[in-house]
Structure 1
Amino acid sequence: MKSKITLKELSKLLNVSISTVSKALHDSPEISPKTAERVKELAKLHNYRPNPVAVNLKKSKTGTIGVVIPNISNSFFARVLSGMEAEAQKHEQQVITYISNESLDREKQICDMLTSGMVDGVLIAVSEETQKKQEYDHLFALLDYDIPVVIYDRINLGLPADKIGVDDEKSFYDATKFFKEKGLEKIGLASAIHHVGIGQLRIKGYEKGMQDLDSLYMATSTKPAELKRKIKELITSEKVEALLCTDFESSIMATRIAYEENIKVPEELKLIGYISKEVAEYLTPSISYIEQHPQELGSQAVEVLNNRLEGKYESGQFEEKIIATTMVHLESTGF
């Protein structure tokens, strides 16, 4: 009698990763036909089946979707959730919200709960720790249980799932180009999220925009004290004319350092940050920012999930939507 086998055991027998096995079983175009055939043959030989409890539960819809938020203190995600809730109501769906607190272990716990069949699908922004360690087996487990997954915001991950995000790279390319067109050359970048996907995309956009200039001026660190020191050097020693900030922390830090060093914004330093409208407008001076349209992001994430649930996408083919950002000029750009 053929014995049942788990996804992890299949990967060991084939000497490939769990993600490769899962992608092959889900007909991902990322996997070569030869590898996919090997995986499927071995899975058939060992009578591989997804968790039967979850499969049985998935035969009828629950009317509920699970949303995993990485950071509740970030107002961006609160606005994303608002968009999700509004769109879910249109589909008569309930939203269960989980918070990973940027923790890989917590994210694993949440995904383990979600494999019980309690939701029709999952919307997830992957935690910083998960991206840093590149451990995605718990996400492949959701796919293994035939639970549709939509990855939102933090989308530059090699996962066979539908994705929706904003044009992070283009936003900083356009911001860099904007300053160059105004005659500035010493344009800097500050980042506390250079180690995760969205930070890397924004940095890539800046670097592309600076290709025809001799120098890059970058301050990056996950340690607040070190980041503060590096930003201070850019502003005081390097005397950059403009600074692009990839995240809330670096935006606020740059504003504070300019104030402490008596550097006038925007006369001596111009700033653009990834910062929420609610904060940007009430700083002195107000900070120009990249508007990511989070409500629209949340709404479209739910729409994509429902398209998947309704069979509007082909198996093995994944939707990727990119929402255009908007550069909003307030006092800190001064043009």
Structure 2
Amino acid sequence: MKSKITLKELAKLLNVSISTVSKALHDSPEISPKTAERVKELANLHNYKPNPVAVNLKKSKTGTIGVVIPNISNSFFAKVLSGMEAEAQEHNLQVITYISNESLDREKQICDLLTSGFVDGILIAVSEETQRKKDYDHLFALVDYDIPVVMYDRINIDLPADKVGVDDEQSFFEAAKYFQVKGLNKIGLATAIHHLGVGQLRIKGYGKALKEPNLPIMAAATKPTELRKKIKSLITEDKIEAIMCTDFESTIMTTRIAYEEKIKIPEDLKVIGYIGKEVSEFLTPSVSYIEQHPNEVGANTVKLLNKRLEGKAVSGEFEEKIISTSLMHLESTKF
């Protein structure tokens, strides 16, 4: 008699990842015909079927969507959620919010819960730990349950889903070019998120702009003590003229170190940071920042999800919406 089997068990028997099995069952062009045939043969042999509870419950709409936020203390994500809530109301959708706290295990727990069938779709920004460990099987499992998923902000993951992000690479390319046009040659970069996709994109944009003779000078570390040491070296030893900070931590740390070393901003050092308006305007001097338009990010995630829920999206084809950022000049970039 044929025995039922789970997606995870199929992957183990085939010695491949869950994502590979999921993609093969959904006829993804990324999977070779030979591998797809192996997967489907074994699935048929063991009478594989998606989670029946989830499938049955998905036959009727709940009017509820699940939102997974990696870090609620980050004002960007708080504003993204605000944009989601406002847009959800326009479509008569209720929002249930979960916080992963940048934990892979917690994110997996949330995804398991959301596959029970009580939400119509999921909006998710993956955790730092998920990206660092590159463990995405639980995300591909959502696809296997036919639950519509929209990824936001942290979208550089090869998942068959709609995505909404910001132009991280272009924003830092343009910021670096701005300094170059103003005649600056020694432009540094500070980052505590170089291990994340968004951080890597910002670094990439910076690197593209700074070619010979303006070679990149970078301070990258996740540990505060190490990051502080590297930023101090950029400012006091390399004597950079400007610094671009990819995140809140590196921005605040840069302004603090400059103050401690009696380096005047903007006279001696120009600063641009990925930091929210609500903080940048109250620093002394105020710090120029990249405006990511988080409310727009949030609204667009809901729009894409609702389009799929209403059957207006093409099955098997996915949209990627990139929101343009704005460079907001305050006191730290005055010439």
From the superposition, tell whether residues 303 and 29 of structure 1 become closer, same or farther in structure 2 (CA, over 3 Å).
Answer: farther
On the 8 A contact 1:65/1:120 being kept in 2, the answer is: yes
1:151 Cα deviation after fit: 0.7
State the partner residue of 1:111. Answer: 111
Q: Distance in 1 between matches of 2:88 and 2:39?
A: 37
Structure 1 length as normaliser, TM-score? 0.97
From the superposition, tell whether residues 214 and 184 of structure 1 become closer, same or farther in structure 2 (CA, over 3 Å).
Answer: closer
Name which of structure 1's ranges 71-80 and 158-167 shifts more when overlaid on structure 2: 158-167
Letter in 1 for 2:134: Q
1:51 aligns with 2:51: yes
On the 8 A contact 1:27/1:315 being kept in 2, the answer is: no
State the partner residue of 1:243. Answer: 243
The 4+ residue runs of structure 1 with deviation greater than 6 A are: none
Name which of structure 1's ranges 233-242 and 158-167 shifts more when overlaid on structure 2: 158-167
Q: Distance in 2 between matches of 1:38 and 1:318?
A: 26
State the partner residue of 1:164. Answer: 164
On the 8 A contact 2:185/2:214 being kept in 1, the answer is: no
Q: Distance in 2 between matches of 1:320 and 1:41?
A: 33
Letter in 1 for 2:298: G
> What is the aligned length?
335
1:221 aligns with 2:221: yes
Segments of 5+ residues of structure 2 without an aligned counterpart are: none
Letter in 2 for 1:327: L
Q: Deviations over 1:5-46 (max 9, x none)?
A: 111122123222111111122233322344333322322232
1:117 Cα deviation after fit: 0.5
Superposition pairs for residues 88-167 of structure 1, below 5 Å?
Answer: 88-167=88-167
From the superposition, tell whether residues 234 and 214 of structure 1 become closer, same or farther in structure 2 (CA, over 3 Å).
Answer: same
- Look up the SS of the partner of 2:332 in the other structure: coil
Once the two structures are aligned, what percentage of the paired residues are identical?
Answer: 77
Q: Distance in 2 between matches of 1:37 and 1:234?
A: 55
Structure 2 length as normaliser, TM-score? 0.97
Name which of structure 1's ranges 4-13 and 107-116 shifts more when overlaid on structure 2: 4-13
Q: Distance in 2 between matches of 1:313 and 1:34?
A: 30
1:264 aligns with 2:264: yes
Name which of structure 1's ranges 4-13 and 71-80 shifts more when overlaid on structure 2: 4-13
Q: Distance in 1 between matches of 2:278 and 2:299?
A: 20
Letter in 2 for 1:60: S
Q: Deviations over 1:44-94 (max 9, x none)?
A: 232111000010000001100000110111110110000000000011010
Q: Deviations over 1:290-321 (max 9, x none)?
A: 00000000000001111121222222222111
Q: Distance in 2 between matches of 1:144 and 1:91?
A: 26
On the 8 A contact 1:29/1:317 being kept in 2, the answer is: no
Segments of 5+ residues of structure 1 without an aligned counterpart are: none
1:30 aligns with 2:30: yes
Q: Distance in 1 between matches of 2:291 and 2:241?
A: 22
- Look up the SS of the partner of 1:332 in the other structure: helix
Name which of structure 1's ranges 304-313 and 288-297 shifts more when overlaid on structure 2: 304-313
Q: Distance in 2 between matches of 1:41 and 1:296?
A: 45
